[in-house]
Amino acid sequence: MAMIGTDLGNSERLFLAGAWIPKATVPAALSSEILERATALNMPQEIIWGREVITIFIFMILVTAPLGAILISVTGPLLLPPGEEGEEGEEGEEYGDDIEKRQTNFMQRDNDDKNL
């Protein structure tokens, strides 16, 4: 539903469907509210349940977060197209820069260092 009207391809949609798998972080953050309210109202049985809920959600994070990260890192290169010419990289370089140009610059700097 969230991708209706976008120009994404099927492989990109598939990647997003996998990347959006819940990772239990929001329920874990909210589960402390259960324990806090049960403690404030002095409800012993609910305090026990609140601790169990927090334990379950923490376990869910420990399982789902690494699986989600693995899924994203494995399927990303397979399903997503490479960056387009002229896109900015993380270090401000363009993805389309020629590797040979970089190698030439490196060799020139290395020769300059030897001449000093």
Q: Where are the domains of the chain?
A: 9-81
Residue appearing with tokens 């990289």: 89
Give 10-49 pLDDT, tens digit per residue: 888 888 888 887 777 788 788 888 889 999 999 999 999 9
Cα separation, 45 vs 38, whole angstroms: 8
**Residues near 15 by beta carbon (within 8 Å), at least 6 away in sequence:** 72, 75, 76, 79, 80
Quick check: pTM over 0.75? Answer: no
Cβ–Cβ under 8 Å, residues 25 and 17: no
